[in-house]
Amino acid sequence: MAFSGPLWQLREWLGLENLCIMMIQRPDFVSEMIAFWTQFASTVLDRFLPHFCPDRVMIQEDMAYKQACLENRQPVFLLIVSGH
């Protein structure tokens, strides 16, 4: 079983450039989207896991781009933690 992590999903919704801009200009909205995605994924798992025991669960996250980090780790970490 695999599903997108919060930053992967936000990048899918917004695109990389818009996500980077929103992390600076609208961190409150980015936090709200992270909280939504976290709650959505949790709800899906709550409904799914009583009926099936997966061999593994993979949360896909996108932190690298070519030869460097895709995002600055400290602000990203704070946004993800605020979503939980």
Each residue's pLDDT tens digit, 72-83: 555 666 655 555
Per-residue confidence (pLDDT) for residue 78, from 0 to 100: 61
Number of domains in the chain: 1
Per-residue confidence (pLDDT) for residue 57, from 0 to 100: 83
Would you tell me how many other CB atoms lie within 10 Å of the CB of residue 23? 20
The torsion of the CA quartet 64, 65, 69, 75, rounded to 10 degrees, works out to -90
Per-residue confidence (pLDDT) for residue 43, from 0 to 100: 94
The DSSP result for 18-74, as a single string, is HHHHHHHH-HHHHHHHHHHHHHHHHHHHHHHTTT---S--EEE---EETTEESS-HH
Per-residue confidence (pLDDT) for residue 17, from 0 to 100: 87
Each residue's pLDDT tens digit, 29-63: 988 998 999 899 999 989 989 998 989 888 887 66
Task: Determine the structural domain holding residue 60 and report its residue range.
Answer: 2-48+56-82
Q: How far is CA 71 from CA 24, 43, 46, 79, in A?
A: 12, 27, 30, 12
C-alpha 51/C-alpha 68 separation (Å) is: 41
